């Protein structure tokens, strides 16, 4: 294992961002930004559960992106930019094959693009970074500095503008899964997600419904992310241009990614949840810009994983710890009857230190009848068959420059909209090899994949199932089998460390 200091040295970035990071484990991906206010005591705020989105008529929803004030740190208020003014945004609870239209109205002072992460979505509804909803009354056009920092994207022909609002069409012709939606605006995704533009979309289907897994209030989405706060309670973030209007990017010390010192779950700092001594299904999402977590239970315990990014596993997998990279989801069952009533069960992040070592706490308050079970077989097996691949392609995720004008690239190229690096055929499968110089959580739009190998060895236990995001660590080679199904057209693969993404670590591919 190469130490963080050593691999930064190899990259010529030594001294840039070593201080203040999580030691020499090589497991941290970003730079910690300290809050300017006293941090609240952990486990004093109840866990919020986001409200459900309500249709305006069957199959149609409308959400408004707007600024609002929320009490996140007790005793202060924070301006969030949220879907319907909430953070997280409302949860869409939808059925497989239930063709859904979501009208997104933008009442923020900046353009937005909304991506349904994990969605099998037509290309013009996929939330491409230059396919923007511009606030009504604002002129169209890329911001004056639009991507000139990276020397790309200035070509207007790749940009599309919608005034005030637009409809996104989600056919949801895909297995039950925990998806999420978030902003994807060119050059400004990281600060706009940091301000709150993210929420859950849960797809349900008959196969998942028929299983005896915990349901109802024992089936809980948990959005984990880190943030930092100014003294007045506002979000702290090292943007070069806090208006997010003109100049993209962050201060150079944060080019590896921004990590906050407050861990939020569903928008609340280190919350607590009272649970009965029964099984609970926890749909974990890491919605952080850059932070990875290694989740463990204290005082001991285990997670039974039933699903991954793109739906149910074939069979459950038991873990004592789960590493979750940005944008990954783990569908986990925890059996709180393993603990005596009165227990405090803490979800820890053992990659963190100090305040970031805690995530949330479960208080086991009572006994209750539990009709749930975890079947030995969850879903039909769909083994990843290496021989079904029609070709192999390599995508190398690497920094070509550090410091001022930093650039994160794929195959040596900064993002060039409309210039695909691959043209896979609809209905085929390919092996994609991801290689890396750092921590890069690699996300593929549209196409789901299974991990075939890590460094030539079998995948990790936490790589199981169909996925859309994979944790690629420094100097790893991760092979995945990607299936291109559903739609032809322009899609993308990119690093989901949002600061890397905003610094050009994206590439188009076109399904033909
Ligand atoms: Cu990256």
Q: Please check whether residue 10 lies inside any domain of the structure.
A: no
| Residues 177 and 237 placed together within one structural domain of the fold | no
Ligand 1: centre distance to CA 398 (Å): 8
Q: Please check whether residue 91 lies inside any domain of the structure.
A: yes
Mean pLDDT within 36-59: 97
Q: Please check whether residue 16 lies inside any domain of the structure.
A: no
Ligand 1: centre distance to CA 74 (Å): 33
Res 149 pLDDT > 70: no
Ligand 1: centre distance to CA 486 (Å): 27
Beta strands 448-454 and 477-483: pairing type? antiparallel
| Residues 266 and 306 placed together within one structural domain of the fold | yes
Ligand 1: centre distance to CA 358 (Å): 25
Nearest Cα to 225, choosing from 465, 507, 496, 505?
496
| Residues 354 and 220 placed together within one structural domain of the fold | yes
Highest mean pLDDT among 19-28, 383-392, 500-509: 500-509
Ligand 1: centre distance to CA 106 (Å): 28
Ligand 1: centre distance to CA 295 (Å): 21
Beta strands 279-286 and 100-106: pairing type? unpaired
Total domains, the chain: 3
Res 20 pLDDT > 50: no
Ligand 1: centre distance to CA 113 (Å): 20
CB 137 within 8 A of CB 166: no
Q: Please check whether residue 104 lies inside any domain of the structure.
A: yes
Ligand 1: centre distance to CA 13 (Å): 15
Query: Any residues with CB less than 8 A from the CB of 19 and at least 6 apart, and which?
Result: none
Mean pLDDT within 459-465: 96
Res 185 pLDDT > 70: yes
From 181, 209, 237, give the residue that closes a domain: 209
Q: Please check whether residue 45 lies inside any domain of the structure.
A: no
Ligand 1: centre distance to CA 210 (Å): 38
Mean pLDDT within 232-250: 94
3-state helix vs strand vs coil in the chain, percent to 5: 10, 40, 50
| Residues 338 and 393 placed together within one structural domain of the fold | no
- Check residue 27 and give its pLDDT: 81
User: pLDDT higher for 402 or 364?
Assistant: 364
| Residues 221 and 138 placed together within one structural domain of the fold | no
Ligand 1: centre distance to CA 478 (Å): 14
Res 485 pLDDT > 70: yes
Res 9 pLDDT > 60: no
CB 429 within 8 A of CB 389: yes
| Residues 221 and 353 placed together within one structural domain of the fold | yes
Q: Please check whether residue 49 lies inside any domain of the structure.
A: no
Classify each residue of 207-224 as buried b or exposed e, where b means 16 or more C-beta atoms within 10 Å of its C-beta. Answer: ebeebebbeeebbbbbbb
Model pLDDT for residues 296-328, shown as the tens digit of each residue: 999 999 999 999 999 999 999 999 999 999 999
User: pLDDT higher for 152 or 446?
Assistant: 446
- Phi/psi for 300 (5° steps) reads 85, 165
Ligand 1: centre distance to CA 332 (Å): 26
Beta strands 477-483 and 469-472: pairing type? unpaired
Q: Please check whether residue 48 lies inside any domain of the structure.
A: no
Mean pLDDT within 500-511: 96
d(CA 238, CA 50): 28
From 209, 234, 257, give the residue that closes a domain: 209
Ligand 1: centre distance to CA 472 (Å): 9
| Residues 488 and 440 placed together within one structural domain of the fold | yes
Tokens of 15: 């001294």
Ligand 1: centre distance to CA 444 (Å): 13
Ligand 1: centre distance to CA 323 (Å): 17
| Residues 414 and 458 placed together within one structural domain of the fold | yes
Ligand 1: centre distance to CA 301 (Å): 32
Name the DSSP class of 52: B
- pLDDT band of residue 22 (cuts 50, 70, 90) is very low
Strand partners, 106: 65
Nearest Cα to 150, choosing from 497, 491, 505, 444?
505
Task: Kindly write down the DSSP assignment for every residue of 142-205, as one continuous string.
Answer: --TTTTGGGT----GGG-EEEESEEEEEE---S-SEEEEEEE--TTTHHHHHHTT-EEEEEEE-
Ligand 1: centre distance to CA 229 (Å): 24
Ligand 1: centre distance to CA 216 (Å): 36
Strand partners, 469: 443
Model pLDDT for residues 378-421, shown as the tens digit of each residue: 998 777 789 999 999 999 999 887 666 668 999 999 999 999 99
3-state secondary structure of 441: strand
Nearest Cα to 210, choosing from 375, 39, 408, 443?
375
Res 375 pLDDT > 90: yes
Query: Any residues with CB less than 8 A from the CB of 259 and at least 6 apart, and which?
Result: 28, 29, 30, 31, 32, 33, 226, 288, 289, 290, 291, 356
Residue 152, preceding peptide bond in cis (omega within 30° of 0): no
Outline where 272-327 has alpha helix (H): none
From 335, 366, 397, give the residue that closes a domain: 366
Ligand 1: centre distance to CA 327 (Å): 12
CATH of residue 462's domain is: 2.60.40.420
| Residues 192 and 65 placed together within one structural domain of the fold | yes
| Residues 360 and 442 placed together within one structural domain of the fold | no
Name the DSSP class of 233: S
CB 127 within 8 A of CB 177: no
Ligand 1: centre distance to CA 400 (Å): 12
| Residues 141 and 159 placed together within one structural domain of the fold | yes
- Check residue 7 and give its pLDDT: 34
Ligand 1: centre distance to CA 37 (Å): 29
- pLDDT band of residue 24 (cuts 50, 70, 90) is very low
Q: Please check whether residue 308 lies inside any domain of the structure.
A: yes
d(CA 201, CA 181): 7
| Biggest CA pair distance of the chain | 63
Classify each residue of 478-510 as buried b or exposed e, where b means 16 or more C-beta atoms within 10 Å of its C-beta. Answer: bbbbbbbbbbbbbbbbbbbbbbbbbbbbbbbbb
Domain holding 439, by residue range, is 386-511
Ligand 1: centre distance to CA 211 (Å): 37
As a whole number, the mean pLDDT across the chain is 91
| Residues 178 and 222 placed together within one structural domain of the fold | no
């Amino acid at each position: 294992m190469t130490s963080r200091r050593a691999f930064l040295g190899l990259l010529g970035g030594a001294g840039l961002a070593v201080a203040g990071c999580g030691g020499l484990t090589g497991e941290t991906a970003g730079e910690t930004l300290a809050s300017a206010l006293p941090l609240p005591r952990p486990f004093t705020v109840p866990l919020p559960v986001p409200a459900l989105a309500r249709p305006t008529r069957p199959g149609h929803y409308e959400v408004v992106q707007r600024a609002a004030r929320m009490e996140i740190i007790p005793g202060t208020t924070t301006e969030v930019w949220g879907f319907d003014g909430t953070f997280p945004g409302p949860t869409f609870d939808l059925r497989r094959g239930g063709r859904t239209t979501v009208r997104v109205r933008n009442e923020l002072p900046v353009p937005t693009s909304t991506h349904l992460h994990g969605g099998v979505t037509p290309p013009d509804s996929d939330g491409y970074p230059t396919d923007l909803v511009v606030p009504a009354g604002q002129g169209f056009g890329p911001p004056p500095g639009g991507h000139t920092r990276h020397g790309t994207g200035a070509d207007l022909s790749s940009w599309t503008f919608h005034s005030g609002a637009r409809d996104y069409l989600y056919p949801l012709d895909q297995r039950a899964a925990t998806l999420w939606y978030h902003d994807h605006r060119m050059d400004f995704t990281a600060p706009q997600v940091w301000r709150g533009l993210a929420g859950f979309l849960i797809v349900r289907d008959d196969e998942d419904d028929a299983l005896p897994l915990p349901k109802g209030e024992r089936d809980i989405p948990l959005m984990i992310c880190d943030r930092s706060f100014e003294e007045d309670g506002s979000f702290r973030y090292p943007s070069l241009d806090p208006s997010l209007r003109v100049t993209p990017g962050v201060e150079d010390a944060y080019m590896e990614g921004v990590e906050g010192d407050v861990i939020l779950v569903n928008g609340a700092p280190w919350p607590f949840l009272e649970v009965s001594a029964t099984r609970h299904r926890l749909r974990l999402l890491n919605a952080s810009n850059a932070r990875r977590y290694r989740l463990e239970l204290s005082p001991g315990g285990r997670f039974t994983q039933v699903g991954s990014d793109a739906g149910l596993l074939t069979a459950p997998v038991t873990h004592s710890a789960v590493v979750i990279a940005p944008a990954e989801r783990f569908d986990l069952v925890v059996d709180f009857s393993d603990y005596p009533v009165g227990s405090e069960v803490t979800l820890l992040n053992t990659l963190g230190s100090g305040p970031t070592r805690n995530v949330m706490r479960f208080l086991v308050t009572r006994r209750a009848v539990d009709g749930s079970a975890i079947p030995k077989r969850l879903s039909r097996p769909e083994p990843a068959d290496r021989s079904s691949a029609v070709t192999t392609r390599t995508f190398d995720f690497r920094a070509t420059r550090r410091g001022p004008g930093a650039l994160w690239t794929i195959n040596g190229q900064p993002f060039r909209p409309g210039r695909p690096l691959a043209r896979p055929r609809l209905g085929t499968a390919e092996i994609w090899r991801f290689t890396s110089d750092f921590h890069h959580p690699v996300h593929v739009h549209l196409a789901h994949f299974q991990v075939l190998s890590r460094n030539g060895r079998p995948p990790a236990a936490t790589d199981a199932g169909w996925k859309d995001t994979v944790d690629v660590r420094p100097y790893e080679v991760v092979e995945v089998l990607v299936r291109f199904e559903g739609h032809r057209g322009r899609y993308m693969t990119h690093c989901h460390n949002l600061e890397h993404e905003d610094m050009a670590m994206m590439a188009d591919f076109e399904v033909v």
